[in-house]
Structure 1
Amino acid sequence: MNDIPAQAGPDRCSFENLDDFNNLWRKYREALPWTCPFVLPPWVNAWWKIFGQDAQILIAVVRQGEVISGIAPLMIREGTVRFLGDPEVCDYFDFVVSRERATTFFSTLFASLSAQGLRIFDLGPMRPDAAIQTFFGQHAPTSSMECRIHQEDVFSDLDLPHTWDEFLEALGGKQRHELRRKLRRLGEAGEVRFRRVDDLASLGEAIETFLRLFSMNREDKAAFMTGTMASFFHALAVSLVEEGMLRLFFLELNDQPVASVFCFDYQGTRYLYNNSYDRGYQGLSVGLLSKVWSLKAAIDEGLCCYNFLKGGETYKRHLGGNEIPLLQCKVTLR
């Protein structure tokens, strides 16, 4: 990553629209730490298109002179300042700011928002290494600011080895045996194929197949996939494929799609965003094995990390995932 050269000058905060935000992404993609995928413009654009009707965009950019210190992709909803997105479809959030500029960034940001009469901030969920968590870890809230942080959930990630054999060897003996048994049993059921769709021409049909499998899954997952949510998945898939990030996988048995995994790759990490499968094939563990094959593909492609994202499901630990807390941060300015 290239450092932004320091320049003298007063810090100031300006407010930008979504087009400006997209331009900042294109212009400063390498120079700013866009580390959180859920605040990237490709993600924000898809979310705003489907869910943004009752919110007001509040994208704040803090500059020192002409140099950008950081970006706060925020919105106002029901009188509260939140990240531009929703925890229902965004696993965690963060600001776009380097650690060395965090102090002046947050001081300027909160002062500017306070001057506009904005007092309540619901900022989360966040990783423990999020910029604002680091800021409050180093600077105690003042008498004019209250900050409450609590754990909301967990996510799991896994540092990937160089080979599939190394991955299997790192599993516990019982888990390694079970995984091999399930793979063997699926192979005995017929011709197995695992394929990836990441081109725009094939995307519409592929997403429809993913959604159809979603409706054949657990009842709670089927209820989650409303018409509006399906539109979001379509918009998100297009947005991600245009950036070369989408990794949509299908597990097929005898030429029949039985499971799908919606992943995306960013900065050397594969993110497991969602999955769907035909409940009629549950006895063959197709839901689990489709995830396993997406993990194996990440190893084969030389990626360094696999992020299982939000949730403490047991299978994530069985596959070697390390649980990390997700934190909720509520800030009140007095």
Structure 2
Amino acid sequence: MKVWWSVFNNGSATYLSAVRDNNRLIGVAPLMVKGEEARFIGDPDVCDYQDFIVAPKRGKDFFEALINHLRGEGISRLDLNTVRADSKILGEFSRVAENLKCEIFCDPEDVTYELDLPGTWDEFLGMLTGKQRHEVRRKLRRLNEAAEVNYRVVGGFKEVMDEMETFLALFGLSRSDKATFMTGQMATYFRSLAETMARENLLKLYFLDLDGTPAAAVMCFDYDSTIYLYNNGYDGRFSSLSVGLLSKVLTIKESIRKGKKKYDFLKGTEEYKHRLGGRPVPLYRCQVKLG
């Protein structure tokens, strides 16, 4: 959020509300305010889903304090886009808001896909349909027959920063819409995001090299037992070898090797997510009239 604010601040004012009980932090609301409306700091284009940060079993106290404080500051609307079906917003926040006579409107907005990772690569292949298992094996075999394959993981801060330009170049080469998306301002955001996350050891870049040439790259967040697929790119010259898909497949294989428990494909309904075993998790846009 700090990175997004530093690059995209749109004239809103920050509203970082921390609620404490006897000097003990029970929750944080990372919001920005413009006029009478508050929303999460960030943007759906680069933030797949968001939520409030709340201590266990303190949701009621936190949300009551937050809503009352927002009302006291003259805030009449909350626009919370995008949130998961299992978020605190669709859970305890909604119940508290209704009790405080707020009006809540939540509509389906998008979907994210998640995959529970098994213990071994062979178990993962066994989870796929027979057709998809055959396709993954066939495409990997064809890739290895066509070129000398080197799949590398970049995680150290200096190494990530050294490789970001390669990632951005591959991102722009993927499709015309991706090239249009990656404006100068957006590239600044990606570089700053990578720098910030890599400093905390929360970011990995995965590169698929063919005969020494970077053919595809994937950017993932690495937090606790979950890998989050944030973005990717590939050189269209190698599209016949399915490098875009296989670069993601290999991140799953590496995640299993590292003992990760979950793989989050993040927002979007691309068919490959379903084919690789992901299950859909609905995302909603919630708007709240505080009254």
Q: CA deviation at 1:137?
A: 5.4
Does the Cα contact within 8 Å between 1:82 and 1:122 map onto a contact in 2?
yes
Does the Cα contact within 8 Å between 1:94 and 1:126 map onto a contact in 2?
yes
Q: Secondary structure at the match of 1:100?
A: coil
Distance 1:288 1:238 in 2: 26
Aligned residue identity for 2:53? V
Aligned residue identity for 1:203? V
User: 2:117 matched to 1:160?
Assistant: yes
1:33 matched to which residue of 2? none
1:221 matched to which residue of 2? 178
Give the TM-score, by structure 1 length.
0.84
Q: CA deviation at 1:139?
A: 4.6
Distance 2:158 2:172 in 1: 24
2:279 matched to which residue of 1? 322
Distance 2:34 2:165 in 1: 31
| Residue of structure 1 aligned with 2:4, choices 47, 69, 73 | 47
Q: Secondary structure at the match of 2:58?
A: helix
2:69 matched to which residue of 1? 112
Does the Cα contact within 8 Å between 1:99 and 1:131 map onto a contact in 2?
no
Q: What are the equivalent positions in structure 2 for 1:96-245 lying under 5 Å apart?
A: 96-136=53-93, 138-139=95-96, 141-142=98-99, 144-245=101-202
Aligned residue identity for 2:223? Y
Does the Cα contact within 8 Å between 1:273 and 1:309 map onto a contact in 2?
yes
1:65 matched to which residue of 2? 22
2:229 matched to which residue of 1? 272
Superposed CA deviations along residues 267-291 of structure 1, whole A, max 9, x for unmatched, are 2100000000011111110000000
- Identity rate of aligned residues, in percent? 47
Runs (5+) with no aligned partner, structure 1: 1-43
Aligned residue identity for 2:174? N
Distance 1:140 1:121 in 2: 11
Distance 2:21 2:159 in 1: 45
User: 2:48 matched to 1:87?
Assistant: no
Distance 1:292 1:234 in 2: 25
Q: CA deviation at 1:201?
A: 2.1
